[in-house]
Structure 1
Amino acid sequence: MSSGSDSAVRMEIQVLGSLALRTPHGGNLIDFLTAPKPRKIIALLVLQANHVVTTAAMARELWGDNPPASMQTTLQTYVLQVRKFLGRALCRTSSEVARDVLVTKFSGYQLNLRQGEVDLHEFERLAAEGRKALADGFDEKAIRLLTGAMEVWSGPPLVDMQVGPLLDAEIRRLEESRLTVLMQRNDAKLRLALHHELPGELAGLVSQYPMHENLHAQYMLSLYRSGRCSDALVVFRRLREHLVGELGLEPSLRLQRLHRAMLTADPLLDGADFTEVESLLDRFGGAPALAVPRRAG
C-alpha cells in the first residue's frame, strides 16, 4: 500500500482475466468473498487504484439507475465487508485497513495500492515502454516489450463477473488497449519481415472484429508477403461484404489501394525497395498498418 510500511504484506491482484487476489499466504483469497456486490466494489476500486471512487459511481455500478432508498447504508455495509476481507488477506485490523488501505474520502473511497501489485499496471508499463521503443525506431525491443505486455493477460478482463455499466465500460477500454498493443507489435513484425508469424493470430482477430480495417490491412499484407495473395484478396472481399452489408459503406481508400496493389502484384508491397519508402507511404495514404520496413541502424 502506498502509505504502508515496506514490511507490510504485499498483494498480487489480477483483473486481466478472472478477478484474483493473492498474498504470500497462498491461494486466490477472492474466493472467500463470494457475495457479488462486494466483489464488484473491489474490482471498481482496483481499476481506479489510488484514485477516489465516488459513492455515486459505486451505486451506479451496483444498481444502475435504480438505487435503493437505503443506498448509503448498504454501501457502507459492503465497504465494511471489503475492509474485513482485506484485513484478513493482509493480516491487519479493519481499523488499520480503513486508515491505510481502503480510505474514506469526502465523496467516496480510495484503495491505496503499491506499484507492482496490480497486473493492469504492469501491462500499462510494458505497453508504454513498447510504444517508446517503436517511436525511437527499435522494433526488436518493441516486440519484446509489447509481447510481454500481452502475456500479462490470462483472459478477458473480469471474465468471471457479471458487471454493471461502469465495469463494462472499463472492460471495453482495456480490450481496446490490448488490441492497440497487438497491432503495434504486428507493425513492428511486418517491418522486420516477420510476416509469417502473423496470419494464424490475425485470422482469429478478423473473425472477432469483422469490420476492423487496420486488422484486415495487417492480415492482408502478412498473407501477401507469405505468398498467399489469393487468400489476401479473399480477406478484402469478406471485409467489403461486412461493411456494405452492415453499414452500407465501402472500405476506405487506403484498403482499396492496398487491394489494387495486390491485384497488380506491386513490388513495393514486398517492402524490399527501401529507396521508395516515401512513394509507398504516399500511395497508401501514409498508413502505419502497412508497416514499411525501416533501414537497418
Structure 2
Amino acid sequence: MRYELLGPLRVSNAGERYSLSAPKMEMTLAALLVGAGRVTTKEQLIEELWGAGPPRRASASVHVYLSQLRKFLMAAGDTQARAITTKPSGYLMRLDGSDYDVADFRSAMREGRAHQQAGAYEAALDAFDRALSLIRGPVLDGTPEGPALTRFAAWVEEERLACLELSVEARISLGRHREVIGLLNALTAQYPLRESFYRQLMLVLYRSDRQAEALGVYRSAQRVLRAELGLEPCRSLRRLHQAILTSDRLLDLPMAS
C-alpha cells in the first residue's frame, strides 16, 4: 500500500487508487498519518476535526470514523486490519511495509543535501527534483483546520521552498545560470520577503553578464523589505550587492554568496 499526504490525500495499492468521500474521515486518516508511529489520542482527533467547539457526540463520531477507516483500508489492501490499532491512550497508525510520500520526501532531501555537501551537484539536483515531484499541491486541498494538520501543512510549504532553493543552488553550481532566471523572477514575485531568492537571482544575473539588472533586483528587495518589515536587506544580500558593485572575482566561484 502507499499513502500520499503531500497534496490531496491518496491511498493506492497495485496501481489502483482508493478515495475517501467524507471530509471528516479524510481528516482523521490525515491526522493519524501525521502522527504515524506515535499514539494519537481521541482528544487530539476531536480537536483536529472540530476545534474548540466539538459536538456533544464527538467521541462516538470518532469511533464511527475509525471503524469506517479500518474497513476502507482493508478494502485497499490492509487485509489483516493492522494499520490502525487501538491503544489504552488512543490510536496508533502503523506503516509497516507501506510506502509513504512524506518518508520518501524526507529521504530525498537527506540524499540531496549529502550529495550537495560532497560536491556531487548532478546527483543532488536529481534528488531535489525527486523530492519536489512528490508535492502535488496544498495538503488536503488546502483545507486542514486542526492544529496538527495546520502545522504539517506549514512544514510542507516551508520544506518545498527550501527544496526549491537547494535545487537552484545545485543548478548554479553546475553553471546553469540562465535556465533559472525565469524561475527566480517568479519566486521573488511570489515570495517577496524570502531574501534567499533575491540573492540567487542577483548572482545568476551577474554571472549572465547582466550586472545592471542584478543591482536592480537588490533595489527592489530593499524597497519591499523596508515597506513590509521596516528592515534593511540581510547581511549576505548586502555583501553580495557590494561585491557586484565592485565586480568581485569571488562571484565567479561556485556557490558564491
TM-score, normalising length: structure 2: 0.91
Moved over 6 A (4+): none
Deviation, 1:115, is 5.1
| 1:183 aligns to 2:172 (yes or no) | no
Q: Given the alignment, which residue of 123, 126, 132 partners 1:141?
A: 123
Cα distance in 1 for partners of 2:246, 2:142 equals 49
Contact 1:233 1:259 in 2 (8 A): yes
> Which structure has the larger Rg?
1
The unaligned stretches of length 5 or more in structure 1 are 1-10, 273-290
Amino acid paired to 1:14:
E
Residue 38 in structure 1 maps to residue 2 in structure 2: no
Q: What are the residue-to-residue correspondences of 1:182-221 with 2, within 5 Å?
A: 182-221=164-203
Write out aligned runs for 1:15-164 (5 A). Answer: 15-24=5-14, 26=16, 28-30=17-19, 33-90=20-77, 92=79, 96-97=80-81, 100-114=82-96, 117-159=99-141, 161-164=143-146
1:60 is displaced (CA, Å) by 1.4
Matched pairs, number: 257
Q: Distance in 2 between matches of 1:223 and 1:157?
A: 34
Is the 2:250–2:256 Cα contact (8 Å) retained in structure 1?
A: no
User: In structure 2, do the counterparts of structure 1 residues 271 and 91 end up closer, same or farther at CA, with 3 Å as the change threshold?
Assistant: closer
Q: Determine if contact 2:132/2:160 at 8 Å carries over to the other structure.
A: yes
Change (3 A) 1:214 1:46: same
Contact 2:125/2:170 (8 A) holds in 1: yes
Number of the residue aligned with 1:265: 247
Distance 1:115 1:137 in 2: 34
Q: In structure 2, do the counterparts of structure 1 residues 184 and 155 end up closer, same or farther at CA, with 3 Å as the change threshold? A: same
SS at match of 2:99: coil
Judge conservation of contact 1:16–1:157 (CA < 8 Å) in 2: yes
Q: Which runs of 5+ in 2 are unaligned?
A: none
TM-score by length of 1: 0.80
Residue 162 of structure 1: how far off its partner (Å) = 4.7
2:2 alignment partner AA: E
Residue range with higher mean Cα deviation, 179-188 or 56-65: 179-188
Inter-CA distance 253–67: structure 2 relative to 1 (3 Å threshold): same
Deviation at 1:157, TM superposition (A): 2.8
Q: Return the alpha-carbon distance in structure 2 between the equivalents of residues 111 and 218 of structure 1.
A: 41
